[in-house]
């Protein structure tokens, strides 16, 4: 009798989940993946969907816009930007792409920027600590991973010094990505006057409802004059390597100029989300110098609150509008149908399409999911390389010696639809050529994946790829 009642309850819950999937209108592939999960893994499948499958957001862009203080702050930053250009060049990528980003993410391209490429962890943290030392008014940090270790201790020492100098310091860390950050460290930060908030921390009911929405951004702002963003987190592994994955290869950006205030907008919005307090946003904005640099930068950010996928659509547009070549460096190329077709069409159209991925992966499921797309891409003419010397974590696109995308977003559905991400688009020939050569240099340390060899891989590998691909929409 009890099992009949349990079965009825399970079927009612399953039917409710199916209705939820259909009403939410998510992609067919994701819908089918969740249906398979729900009906092949009884009970656990329903719990998983309840935890990470439903569209449960506490805040929306509408909430942010309706807050008077933060809306006024956004307007002040926009007015302070000075020169913003709606069009850059008379070409598809420079005409359509800036409009696309402005419509979906809100930011126009800005000129008079200085862009510095930081090619590894040491260069990145040397630049970060040098910039933090110059702070006179405020320091903002937003990180997906903030771990205990030597870097964290160096930051604590610097923050202690800066607090005594009257510098305001605000930190946001992700509740899942930074789960190893000790409570004692956080307590010590607060004790010296640093304002610290987790993004969606562990609270059983709320956490289970929001575990799938993580803040994957990495941002530092110093006095509204210097900013950093890219793929590098606050973790000693970027300096010392990893026992399992080896040396971590990643890249970061240092920005000066008008684009810094756009990144400050992103931080301000996230600060409002975690603290609910916008009173501290009434800060004096720096006067922007028109002589900082001559590079054009456009910030694109996105998250699960966006109706459109700003970063996903940006990647699609970059691929679709490339005329000569597009080189993509990313550890997590799990593209989904639209990006997959765009890559295939570009390659079949004669564009030199190359993917540089990591031979090593920090997840078995991710490893086989990435590989599951190789055969189709190789058949279309996409060149694929697996980096051999450690773990490749960079998220970079360079196209046609004209444009570069670098930031926090992977080339997967999670980055497009579920994570809070931020990228910088640099419309600059010199930067593009530099990163093209950097890509070709990394290829020298990689293994080329050949179609004729790959298509004859063992049946067991194909089975692993097929299994992983079914669940890849859920990653």
Q: What is the pLDDT of residues 256-311, one digit of tens each?
A: 999 999 999 899 889 988 998 776 565 556 666 666 788 999 999 998 878 789 99
- For 100, the 3-state DSSP assignment is helix
**Helix (H/G/I), strand (E/B), else coil: 71:** helix
Q: Count the neighbouring beta carbons within 10 Å of the beta carbon of residue 133.
A: 11
Tokens 């009642």 map to which residue?
A: 5
Q: Is 270 considered catalytic here? A: no
Catalytic residue of the set 270, 400, 412, 428: 400
E strands, 205-363, in order: 218-222, 226-230, 248-249, 252-256, 295-302, 325-329, 333-334, 352-358
- Give me the pLDDT at residue 38, please: 63
Q: Is 95 among the residues known to form the active site?
A: no
Active-site position among 174, 223, 270, 306: 223
pLDDT tier at 105, thresholds 50, 70, 90: confident
pLDDT at position 184: 98
For residue 429, pLDDT over 70 is answered with yes
56 or 428, higher pLDDT:
428
The closest of 274, 265, 264, 245 to 393, measured between CA atoms, is: 245
- Distance separating alpha carbons of residues 433 and 424, to the nearest angstrom: 16
CA–CA separation, 444 and 448 (whole Å): 9
- pLDDT band with cut points at 50, 70 and 90 for residue 83: very low
pLDDT tens per residue, range 43-61: 666 566 655 555 554 444 4
Confidence of residue 392 (pLDDT cuts 50, 70, 90): very high
Respond yes or no: is residue 400 known to be catalytic: yes
| pLDDT higher than threshold 90 for residue 23 | no
Active site residue 223: yes
Residues 9, 3: Cα–Cα separation, whole Å: 10
What pLDDT does 314 receive? 97
Active-site option among 30, 170, 360, 393: 393
What is the rounded average pLDDT for all residues in the chain? 85
Asked if 395 is an active-site residue, the reply is yes
**pTM of the entire predicted model:** 0.86
User: 10-24, 186-200, 270-284, 300-314 — which one is most confidently predicted on average?
Assistant: 186-200
Q: Which of 367, 395, 464, 469 is catalytic?
A: 395
- List 30, 108, 162, 216, catalytic entry: 216
Please classify residue 205 by burial: count the beta carbons closer than 10 Å to its beta carbon, then call 0-12 exposed, 13-18 middle and 19+ buried. Answer: exposed
pLDDT, mean of residues 104-120: 92
464 given a catalytic annotation: no
**Residue among 218, 225, 237, 252 flagged as catalytic:** 218
- Check residue 277 and give its pLDDT: 74
Q: How far is CA 398 from the centre of its chain?
A: 17
């Amino acid at each position: 009798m009890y099992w009949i009642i349990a079965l009825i309850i399970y079927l009612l819950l399953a039917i409710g989940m199916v209705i939820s999937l259909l009403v939410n209108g998510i992609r067919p592939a994701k819908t089918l993946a969740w249906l398979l999960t729900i009906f092949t893994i009884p009970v656990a499948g329903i719990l998983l969907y309840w935890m990470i499958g439903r569209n449960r957001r506490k805040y929306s862009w509408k909430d942010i816009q309706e807050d008077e203080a933060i809306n006024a702050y956004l307007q002040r930053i926009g007015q302070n930007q000075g020169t913003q250009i709606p069009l850059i060049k008379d070409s598809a990528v420079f005409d359509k792409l800036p409009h696309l980003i402005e419509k979906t993410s809100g930011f126009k391209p800005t000129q008079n920027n200085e862009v510095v490429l930081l090619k590894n962890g040491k260069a990145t943290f040397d630049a970060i600590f040098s910039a933090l030392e110059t702070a006179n008014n405020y320091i903002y940090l937003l990180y997906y991973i903030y771990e205990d270790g030597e870097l964290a201790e160096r930051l604590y020492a610097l923050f202690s010094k800066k607090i005594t100098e009257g510098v305001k310091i605000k930190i946001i860390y992700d509740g899942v990505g930074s789960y190893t950050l000790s409570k004692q460290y956080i307590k010590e930060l607060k004790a010296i006057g640093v304002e610290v908030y987790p993004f969606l921390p562990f609270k059983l009911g709320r956490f289970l409802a929001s575990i799938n929405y993580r803040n994957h951004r990495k941002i530092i702002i110093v006095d509204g004059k210097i900013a950093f963003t890219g793929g590098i987190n606050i973790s000693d592994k970027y300096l010392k390597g990893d026992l399992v994955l080896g040396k971590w290869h990643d890249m970061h950006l240092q920005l000066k100029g008008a684009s810094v205030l756009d990144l400050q907008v992103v931080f301000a919005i996230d600060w409002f989300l975690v603290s609910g307090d916008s009173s501290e946003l009434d800060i004096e904005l720096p006067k922007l110098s028109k002589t900082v640099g001559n590079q054009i930068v456009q910030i694109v950010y996105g998250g699960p609150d966006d109706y459109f996928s700003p970063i996903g659509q940006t990647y699609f547009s970059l691929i679709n509008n490339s005329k000569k070549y597009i080189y993509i460096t990313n550890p997590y190329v799990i593209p989904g149908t639209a990006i997959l077709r765009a890559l295939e069409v570009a390659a079949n159209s004669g564009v030199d399409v190359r993917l540089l991925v990591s031979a090593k992966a920090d997840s078995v499921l991710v490893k086989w999911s990435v590989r599951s797309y190789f055969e189709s891409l190789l058949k279309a003419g996409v060149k694929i390389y697996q980096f051999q010397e450690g773990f490749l974590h960079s998220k970079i696109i360079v196209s046609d010696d004209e444009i570069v995308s670098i930031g926090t977003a992977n080339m997967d559905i999670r980055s497009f639809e579920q994570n809070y991400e931020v990228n910088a688009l640099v419309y600059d020939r010199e930067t593009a050529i530099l990163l093209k050569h950097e890509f070709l240099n990394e290829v020298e340390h990689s293994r080329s994946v050949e179609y004729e060899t790959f298509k004859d891989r063992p049946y067991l590998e194909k089975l692993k790829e097929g299994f992983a691909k079914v669940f890849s929409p859920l990653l």
